Structure 1
Amino acid sequence: MSRVGKMPVSVPQGVDVQVKDDQISVKGTGGTLSLARNALVNVANKDGKLSFEPANDSREANAMSGTMRQLVNNMVVGVTKGFEKRLTLVGVGFKAAVQGNKLNLAIGFSHPVNIEMPQGIKFETPAPTEIVVKGADRQRVGQMAAEIRAVRPPEPYKGKGIRYADEKIVIKETKKK
């Protein structure tokens, strides 16, 4: 059996988990998240702990038990603490600002780039060269951060562009005569 799938998910106080035939829904202070249930995994809720067991002895069921366990754990953490990704703008004159429900980026193009804030995701700019993407759904937070980074990814010669806060860019050496 999967090592990750063996560990139960503990449900903290104030979080409501409902296991139905077709989906698992988690409700907490950060919002409500739901996930479609897989037929290869049996889910049991006992004394505030969720356990995930493969329905049969196949490799797919074993793998899905660990996957389902981690997805539900991410939902529980998301509705209690939430997730965030930090991005940094590197370049002369590069800046970001939140205006209403849009993120306005001035990143060296001839026009400003506006990115809509989707439902359940929040943008913050603690400094003009920093962007913080927050939300309860880990996948959507990571996807939104990746879409912002894709507007102007860091280039390899000077390192200018939008990068994750913990990302290291390997700078290439320039051409020699």
Structure 2
Amino acid sequence: MSRIGKLPITIPKDVDINYNEPEMVVKGKFGTLQIEIPEIIGITQDENRLMVNLKNETRSQRSLHGLYRTLIHNMVIGVSEQFQITLNLQGVGYRASVQNQFLILNLGYSHPVKIAIPEGISVEVMQNNTINLKGCDKQDLGLFASNIRSWRKPEPYKGKGILYKDEQILRKAGKSGK
């Protein structure tokens, strides 16, 4: 049995879970998320706890046990608290701003980079170089953050680029003259 899969999921009071095979819908104050659960996984719900069980025990099914328990747990946390990712822009002249449903980035290119903000994700820019992303779906939030970061990945010589909060860049010495 999976160590992660056998842990119970605590359901907060403001979260409502509806499970009709094979679909699970989780509703909370920050949104609604849904997932399709395979037949091999059984779910039992008490008053404020949710248990994810396996119907059979094969190697591939044990791996799905932990996966779906984690996905359901992330859905419960997302609709009750929201996930947050902070990005820092490091570089001379690097700036960010939000206009309508677009994130505008000045990253040293000859043109500003315009990125559409997906539905369900809120973007807040602080001090022109710190971007706070919030959303209830952890997977979509991480994908959007990596999309932003792909425009200027951190480089090891000057340390410029888009960094996650508290990320350290290993710096290289570069060329040394004679």
TM-score category of the 2 structures, normalised to the smaller one: over 0.9
Q: Which runs of 5+ in 2 are unaligned?
A: none
Q: Which residue pairs with 1:103 in the alignment?
A: 103
Partner of 1:11: 11
| Count of residue pairs brought into register by the alignment | 177
Unaligned runs of 5+ in 1: none
Deviations along 1:24-43, whole A, 9 cap, x unmatched?
11001010000111222111
Structure-1-length-normalised TM-score: 0.97
The one-letter amino acid paired with 2:102 is K
**3-state SS of the aligned residue for 2:4?**
helix
Q: CA contact under 8 A between 1:2 and 1:63: conserved in structure 2?
A: yes
Query: Residue 176 of structure 1: CA displacement?
Result: 2.2
- How far apart are 1:150 and its partner, in Å? 0.3
Supply the AA of the counterpart residue of 2:64.
Answer: M
**Alignment-derived partner of residue 26 in structure 2:** 26
Question: Separation in 2 of the partners of 1:175 and 1:19?
Answer: 61
Q: Separation in 2 of the partners of 1:15 and 1:66?
A: 22
The reply on whether 1:114 has 2:114 as its aligned counterpart is yes
Deviation of 1:106 after TM superposition, in Å, equals: 0.5
Distance 1:24 1:7 in 2: 18
- Using the aligned pairs only, state the percent identity: 41
Aligned twin of 2:128: 128
**CA deviation after TM superposition for structure 1 residue 103, in Å:** 0.5
Q: Secondary structure at the match of 1:173?
A: coil
What are the equivalent positions in structure 2 for 1:58-69 lying under 5 Å apart? 58-69=58-69
Letter in 1 for 2:91: G
Please provide the CA RMSD for this pair: 0.9
Cross-structure match for 2:78: 78
